[in-house]
Chain A
Amino acid sequence: MPRIVVDVMPKPEILDPQGKAIVGSLPRLGFTAFSGVRQGKRFELTVDGEVTDAVLAQAREAAETLLSNPVIEDVVNVEVVADRP
Chain B
Amino acid sequence: MTETPLIGAVSSTATGTPLTGARIGVVTFPGTLDDRDAARAVRLAGATAVDLWHGDTSLGDVDAVVIPGGFSYGDYLRAGAIARFAPMMGQIIKAANSDARLPVLGICNGFQILTESHLLPGSMVKNDHLKFICREQVLRVENNTTAWTNQYAAGEQITIVLKNQDGQYVADEKTLDELEGEGRVAFRYVGWNPNGSRRDIAGITNAAGNVVGLMPHPEHAVEPGFGPDHTGTDGLGFFTSVLAHLVGGKK
Contact = CB atoms under 8 A, between A and B. Distances in A.
**In the complex, are there CB atoms of A and B closer than 8 Å?**
yes
Interface stretch (B36-44, B69-77, B136-144, B163-171): B69-77
A21 B74 CA distance: 8
A21 to B, nearest CB: 4
B85 A28 contact: yes
A25 B73 contact: yes
B190 interface: no
**What size tier do the contact residues of chain B reach?**
under 10
Interface in B71-102: 73-74, 76-77, 82, 85
B77 A22 contact: yes
**What size tier do the contact residues of chain A reach?**
under 10
A70 interface: no
B76 A18 contact: yes
B85 A22 contact: no
B82 A25 contact: yes
Contacts of A25: 73, 82, 85
Interface in B44-86: 73-74, 76-77, 82, 85
A23 B197 CA distance: 31
A22 B77 CA distance: 7
Contact of B82 (A17, A21, A39): A21
A18 B77 contact: yes
A28 to B, nearest CB: 7
Contacts of A28: 85
A10 to B, nearest CB: 13
A29 interface: yes
Nearest to A28: B85
A73 B74 CA distance: 20
Interface string A15-45: 0011001100100110000000001000000
Nearest to A18: B76
A29 B81 CA distance: 12
Contacts of A39: 76-77
A25 B75 CA distance: 13
Nearest to A19: B76
A25 B77 CA distance: 11
A78 B74 CA distance: 30
Interface of A: 17-18, 21-22, 25, 28-29, 39
15 contacts: A17-B76, A18-B74, A18-B76, A18-B77, A21-B76, A21-B82, A22-B76, A22-B77, A22-B82, A25-B73, A25-B82, A25-B85, A28-B85, A29-B85, A39-B76
Shortest Cβ-Cβ A-B pairs, 4 listed? A18-B76, A21-B76, A25-B82, A21-B73
